[in-house]
Chains A and B, each alone.
Chain A
């Protein structure tokens, strides 16, 4: 109970953590969706044997351990790294980059599978009725939207739930890069179990709300 009081008590530090979590993961998912849906659709519309290698690559990355992504992004952003001059390490931007890298293969891969699985007839019908390349792609996306929203949901879950990558590239700095998952790790280590549980519950509640919103987006009303 104390856990809930702590959480609901509008503790400004806590609110900040929640806000940052939502901002980082939200932005990462948006970026992943923006890139992943078109890319996945494009891949899904090509003949399977033409995209065997990219597909394998994406499937592998779908299961990539977050710490590994954390390490890669860390190396990229560290002072000796390719993007070291930007000085982004231990900033929320670095966390967004890491989570985008984590969510992108999921959104892309699941979109690709959904588009590929869609009946060939849908495409033929669109083409036959005079749709051009873009119009065909848009039609297929519209017909596949339930599964594509599912892909985004899975990507969002991945971003919101992971801790390894944000820990490494964000550094869990209080008031700057601390998010819910890293705060849970910290509070647990400190023995503040109530706080950790409270944060866990908030995380769960947020996941529920986000999924409820996305579910509406699927427009599951035809049945």
Chain B
């Protein structure tokens, strides 16, 4: 789905990301792991075309996104849930409908899709609630619903379950799996939780200090990590 070539991102004098070569095959759930500040969110923002790389390029289905005519059109095939989701002023319904409305979908279609998606995340009873009044976990589920309702080809998730109770974690994991299985969406999921990565992902990428340390099929990487840093990270994470 994505292939990165010599991709780098620099803020000021600091290089926060450098990935020589990495690909995210289509149709899979990819886990993105690594310590805080490793550059995971930065990578997702680059893939979502919210940032421009300082060097290198991103290929989307073999197309160089830098040369692609319309970033908007490309971006509309993806959906992202931010690490700190921001909800718009308005009702839960308005928030979930946003991505569909800007794509010019007709109102009855929007209504149907939004209702279905809210039901799927277990928030149909909050449809008319003001988004500002939601609890952290509710807000996070609205943010996920807002991305899922778009039915994107690529779903970028930055720690989407960090605020949720175990029941809702399980619910959202099912949803993510369903989107991947049903629609064949490619999912790239940032998570700090090794168990979640094991449950959910087909492949994982370990990052550290802006570099990819190790990547491969999840089972393989977890049972026999090649790199000492990966091993340490997994061990450290096992604590919780």
Contact = CB atoms under 8 A, between A and B. Distances in A.
A129 B150 contact: yes
Interface in B124-173: 130, 132, 146-147, 150
Contact of A128 (B75, B88, B103): B75
B13 interface: no
Nearest to A143: B89
Nearest to A122: B86
Band of interface residues on B = 20 to 34
A124 to B, nearest CB: 6
B50 A124 contact: yes
Nearest to B80: A128
A161 B103 CA distance: 45
Q: Which of B82, B88, B130, B150 has the most CB of A within 10 A?
A: B88
A131 B89 contact: no
A131 B38 CA distance: 29
A126 B79 CA distance: 11
B81 to A, nearest CB: 9
A222 interface: yes
B89 to A, nearest CB: 6
Nearest to A138: B102
B1 to A, nearest CB: 17
Interface string B65-104: 0000000100110011010111011000000001100110
Interface in A22-72: none
A12 interface: no
B76 A143 contact: no
Contacts of A130: 72, 75-76, 79, 99, 102-103, 150
B186 interface: no
